[in-house]
Amino acid sequence: MSTYSPPTGRMVSHNMVTTQFELDGYRVTRTLGVVRGIVVRSRSIFGTIGAGLQTIIGGNITLLTNLCEKTRSEAFDLMLQHAAELGGNAVVGARYDATEIMQGVTEVLAYGTAVYVEPAK
């Protein structure tokens, strides 16, 4: 059972995040530094058994797909909250990384550069 709830503080808007290093229609006025959101997640025994059963049938392993999507979403939201805490209103160069820390335990990292942007003239 997950205890995650989305950050309630100020966050950068999702439409102000890009994998590019420029945000179309905006001009970077301040670069605030690297921001990150980290989530470490393990599979439950029930999820592991269910995913194992799904592998017998083949195709998309929906239990693991949903777990991965939820974990990435949480890491992304934490990154946006971190950017807002630094005074940013956008994130450029956004990326994800994942590392298996131990069997069945994975760290997902969302990171980028927090910036303050203004509309381009």
For 32-78, the pLDDT digits (tens) are: 999 999 999 876 555 555 555 556 666 666 766 788 899 999 999 99
Q: Where are the beta strands (DSSP E) in the chain?
A: 26-42, 90-102, 105-119
What is the distance between the terminal CA atoms of the chain, rounded to a whole angstrom? 49
For the chain, give the percent of residues with pLDDT over 90. 62
Q: How confident is the model at residue 8 (pLDDT cuts 50, 70, 90)?
A: low
Position 1 scores a pLDDT of 38
- Is 64 within a domain? yes
Structural domains of the chain, count: 1
Strands 26-42 and 105-119: antiparallel
Confirm whether 5 is domain-assigned: no
| CA–CA gap between residue 106 and residue 100 (Å, rounded) | 4
Does the residue 2 lie in any domain? no
The whole model's pTM is what?
0.81
Give the CATH number, domain containing residue 79: 3.30.110.70
* Residue 110, domain extent: 14-119
What is the pLDDT confidence band of residue 2, given thresholds at 50, 70 and 90? Answer: very low
- DSSP assigned state of 41: E
In a domain, 93, yes or no: yes
pLDDT of residue 12: 96
Flag the least confident range among 17-21, 27-31, 105-109. 105-109
Q: Specify if 38 maps to a domain.
A: yes
4 belongs to a structural domain = no
Asked if pLDDT for residue 4 goes beyond 80, the answer is: no
- The helix-helix angle for 62-85 and 45-57 (nearest 10°) equals 130
